[in-house]
Amino acid sequence: MSSRILVTGGAGFIGSAVIRHLLQNTTFYVGNLDKLTYAGNLKSLDSATTSLRYSFYQVDICDRTALDAVFAEFQPTAVMHLAAESHVDRSIDGPSDFIQTNIVGTYTLLEAARYYWSTLNSTVKATFRFHHISTDEVYGDLEGTTDLFTESTPYSPSSPYSASKASSDHLVRAWQRTYGLPVLLTNCSNNYGPYHFPEKLIPHIILNALAGKQLPVYGDGSQIRDWLYVEDHARALVEVVKNGSIGETYNIGGHNEKRNIEVVETICYLLDELVPLEKLNGMARQYKDLITFVKDRPGHDRRYAIDASKIQRELGWTPLETFDTGLRKTVQWYLNNPQWWQSVLNEDYRLDRLGNEVLAALKTS
């Protein structure tokens, strides 16, 4: 039986990168299961639509009946579970969606996968994998300047988002221990790169700068994150689902710790080089002049940093991009692809899913 990977949340930022990687670099068949919430964008997968190895299912992971139908039709040999509500600010304003999708949805998907797995013949059953993709935010934050998150770091989530992801991690491990479901888990650091939804820090700063708007930075910008280029992450995830050991957790990081203010300033320097601002009133102006410090978010973690030595040691994965090379590629991609992010900003990417009559009515209302 050929390898068939079912990717949940495949129209999202990381999920779409995984699908593009699978179709470009493997012979696997790929099923994309996505509810298409605000963060799901099929325009990120235009290159996939012509592939005979690609299938799309618009399904909510909380809908057990629909999940069972997809499993029966697509018959995956592995599940890569990326579907999640993931924006911290949104979780603070409205945590219920995060509880429903990240906890109830993961439970429902686990049960659908467990039922499907139980029906497989012994050969296929032995090779089936359920790969749950999570975040380093479940660990809370680090006090020191040299400590790192390892796979054995105790969980201490700070936000409704990270608490919901921690809960989903626990569910996945429980389904392996109680029912024997062959699971793998990964916890990653902050991702960035092409096709990133504009509400996230790096694309938000790029697009605000291009529009001449203020560049908001929480607090004093001293929060530290480890930045991982999304295509490096996609390579790591595929390596784990192919060769990872059942029941194991692998931390995935970019080895790029940066303060938020450093990230914003670096974007400004790159834009100064690539699309310099015109002189204002005869005086030179730089993008960093647009930086504005705003009130910090509640419960804002101070530092995340990943120890990714296990995945390097056991699976041979290391990131190919440094922060400088990855960020330059990212900024250049947004400059080269205004049609993608403009369709997100004006919400045409969502309207395109509707029938022409509904689309016309919405456009004129």
Across-strand partners of 4? Answer: 29
- Rounded to the nearest 5 percent, the helix, strand and coil shares of the chain are 50, 15, 35
CB contact burial 317-331 (16+ within 10 A = b; e otherwise): bebebebeebbbebb
| Cβ atoms of residues 227 and 326 within 8 Å | yes
Q: Among all residues, which ones are annotated catalytic?
A: 136-137, 161
Q: How many residues does the chain have?
A: 365
| Cβ atoms of residues 309 and 230 within 8 Å | no
Distances (CA, A) of 21 to 12, 15, 24, 46, 118: 14, 10, 5, 13, 29
State the Cα torsion 91-96-97-102 to the nearest 10°.
Answer: 90
